Amino acid sequence: MSIIFRVRGLATATRLLNPFKVAVIGTGPGGFYTAHHLLNKSSPDKQIHLDFFEKLPTPFGLSRYGVAPDHPEVKNCEEFMTNIMADFKDSDRHRVRFIGNVEIGKDIKLKELEENYNAIVLAYGCTSADNKLNVRGTDSPGIISARQFVNWYNGHPDCYNTENPYKPPPLDKIEDVTIIGNGNVALDVARMLLADPKQHWHATDISVEAEELLEKSTIKNVNIVARRGILESAFSNKEIRELFELKDAKFEPLEEGLLERIATKKLGRVDKRRVSLLEKYNKPISAEEKSRRKWTLRYLLSPVEFITRDGGIKETRFVKNEPVDDPLLPGRVKPTDKFVELKNELVILSIGYQGTSIEGFEEIGIWFDDNKLHNRGGRVLSQISKGETKENLTYKKGWYTSGWIKNGPKGVIAVTMMDSFDTAQNILEDLTNGDYIKVEEGKDIIDSDVFKSLSDVIYWDDWKKLDNYEIKEGDKLGKTRYKVCNKNEMIDICK
């Protein structure tokens, strides 16, 4: 028996000397939930050295820069990352580092990662681009993407750079806004435009610049427009209820006949609830409510032209759609020969984010297209060469993916979490089977010439300085956090 123990002890010691090295690219929910599972579920004889790489100086991805400021409870997920750093930064078994302000693909090449890590998890999200509309006038001034608007009110450093800061729409000069798309992002944007800045937004971590402009807002009407019908609405019931219940804005009734046409008897629970919510709030506006801001939901309309005059957008022309009458094509619509124009001085396109590739995928043979990384259960697939068929697919050994870039730009944080656990479980399985990238022992990327040439790398302790600063300054202003938005300023505070 003692021999077995001694052999086991030796195996453990060897493992401890040669930790399993993992790089996680991106510190949004996809990245930190994968790391959480890996570190907590690895077998006791495995030691993991995990490095988080983040292109921004700050962690948390869309939890910090996407989730609406009035949803602080959603941001509680950030505790997972904070706990990982507290529990494993220098623990006996695992070691975890946050390496911020380092963009993978640019500052550090993918090939360099392959030389240093046994496993690499691509969890870099889908926030660099958005879907486009192929409609006349799309590039006119006054048509903006929801992604950029969200970045602006959430204080994303891309909008607040010194050289070329984002110019927000002139909310203090316009009255009518059209939002195209009716997903939860569209509803966040609508809430931002409709709710009272002092009562609703001031106490949150909204960017101070956004709050100041919203205080001067002259907006009166917001139309949220979808190309399909009520049952195909992309928003969730909780989010639409929140908008209905805003004290500062009034819902204008739906187009007549839309609700009445729905056969409620055949609906599932979620759809029934959706219809009953719409019925509840679909009431005429009373005389005393007439002066308030108004918003409504419009359905079965596809934009066909943005009409500009005097250098600005004045109207959007939509073709009216009708449902395709075919039980095999549920939810499909087709255009009619009828058109409608909506008056607007600002159009916000909220038609989905888009995944982009990282420089070097082709070179090392990673298969990316169609908004996402091709993968099976988070194991990244190799690019198929000309002449090869999809039956010949192989895995790109040691490369994994989690979060939105794994599945495309959809899914709430709870879904991202469960799915990231799946990726992590497959990494652990491959680790047990010896199926990982073999790297030179004792090598550490931060000793490499490339790494040493990087300036202003932000480590966890640096970020904590910024974190504490933001909370302290926020406290003085009666806000949960005062977000520092300019990257240079962030780095100065971190250092």
User: What are the backbone angles phi and psi of residue 238, rounded to the nearest 5°?
Assistant: -60, -40
**Is 104 among the annotated ligand-binding positions?**
yes
Q: Does 180 bind ligand NAP (CB under 6 A)?
A: yes
Strand pairing category for 129-130 and 353-354: antiparallel
Q: Does 383 bind ligand NAP (CB under 6 A)?
A: no
- Give the footprint of ligand FAD on this chain (CB under 6 A): 25-31, 53-56, 61-62, 66-67, 71, 74, 103-105, 123-125, 127, 150, 185, 188, 353, 358, 403-404, 411-413, 416
Q: For ligand NAP, which stretch binds (CB under 6 A), given 256-264, 344-352, 428-436, 463-471?
A: 344-352
Q: For ligand NAP, which stretch binds (CB under 6 A), given 184-192, 281-289, 366-374, 449-457?
A: 184-192
Site string for ligand NAP, 345-364 (x = CB under 6 A): -----xxxx-----------
Q: Which of 7, 17, 412, 414 binds ligand NAP (CB under 6 A)?
A: 412
Cα separation of 165 and 175, whole Å?
Answer: 24
Q: CB-wise, 71 or 292, nearer to ligand FAD?
A: 71
Q: Is 354:131 a contact under the CB 8 Å cutoff?
A: yes
Cα separation of 188 and 243, whole Å?
Answer: 9
**Is 97 among the annotated ligand-binding positions?**
no
Q: Which of 84, 108, 186, 466 binds ligand NAP (CB under 6 A)?
A: 186
- The pair of structure tokens assigned to 51 is 């490095």
Number of chain residues interacting with ligand NAP (CB under 6 A): 24
Cα separation of 406 and 427, whole Å?
Answer: 15
Q: Which of 172, 232, 467, 473 binds ligand NAP (CB under 6 A)?
A: 232
What's the min distance (Å) between Cβ of 258 and ligand FAD? 27
Whole-number Cα distances in Å, 376 to 224, 423, 425: 36, 9, 13
User: What are the backbone angles phi and psi of residue 28, rounded to the nearest 5°?
Assistant: -80, -175
Annotated binding site for NADP(+): 182-185, 227-228, 239, 411
The annotation places the binding site at 54, 62, 104, 182-185, 227-228, 239, 404, 411-413
Binding positions for FAD are 54, 62, 104, 404, 411-413
- By the criterion CB under 6 A, which residues form the site for ligand NAP? 131, 133, 180-186, 188, 226-228, 232, 234, 239, 350-353, 409-412
